[in-house]
Amino acid sequence: MAPSYKIVLLGDSSVGKTSLVHRFISDAFDAHSANTIGAAFISKEHTSNGKTVKLEIWDTAGQERYKSLTPMYYRSAKVALVCFDLSCPESSFERAHYWVEQLAVSGPSDIRIKMVGNKSDLASDADLSTIETYCAEHEIPLLFTSAKDGKGVKDLFDGIVAETSDEIFEEAEEPPILTMRVRESKCC
């Protein structure tokens, strides 16, 4: 059985989180996907560099009314993909700050955050220097994807597996240590 790795997608409603997952899992795009309610879970075994890892992907709802539920979904996650919409980067990215702050306050201490600008196929000629500066200052990798045409999606997940597979396999190969005490019997 392949070791598993939990990934959570965070971001406001309509930034394309569900479409990113659908593109990665099915290599398809559904222009009419419904909003996620609560969270959706899907797993996929993915092979990179000859190592197979089971990715447990949690796609969270972006609507305001579900924000209080989100911390339970990123608990024990190894990677958080904080998604924003490149077709309106200024306002969408401002709201992405919220998710980075939430992860800093209540996320796992070892979680790896990646900032994902989705909808690169619709990206305007907006100045992305503010976004690039923020990510550089906070040491958060910045990636650009398009769930619609598939650009960057496979690379995003391949990169996660490539940079974490050694860590996963080291954890999986360590045998548990059991300590047993032998009691001396004072009876017969």
Q: What is the 3-state secondary structure (H, E, C) of 49-104?
A: CCEEEEEEEEEECCCHHHHHHHHHHHCCCCEEEEEEECCCHHHHHHHHHHHHHHHH
Query: What pLDDT score does 57 carry?
Result: 92
At residue 40, what is the residue type? Answer: A
Q: In this predicted structure, what is the pLDDT of residue 179? A: 55
* Cα–Cα distance measured from residue 149 to residue 67, given in angstroms and rounded to the nearest whole number: 29
Question: Looking at the whole model, is its pTM more than 0.85?
Answer: no
Computed from CA positions of residues 107, 111, 115, 121, in that sequence, does the dihedral angle turn out positive or negative? negative
At 40 the pLDDT is: 75
Vertex 57 angle, CA 148 and 76, to 5°: 145
Q: Are 143 and 152 in contact (CB under 8 A)?
A: yes
In this prediction, residue 55 carries a pLDDT of 93
Q: Which amino acid is at 111?
A: I
Tens-digit pLDDT profile for residues 27-53: 988 776 766 766 677 899 988 777 788
Percent of the chain with pLDDT over 70: 77
Arithmetic mean of pLDDT, 114-124 = 90
The CATH class, in words, for 4-173 is alpha beta
Q: Predicted confidence band at 172 (pLDDT cuts at 50, 70, 90)?
A: very low
The residue among 52, 2, 10 whose CA lies nearest residue 172 is 2
Asked if the model's pLDDT at residue 9 lies above 90, the reply is yes
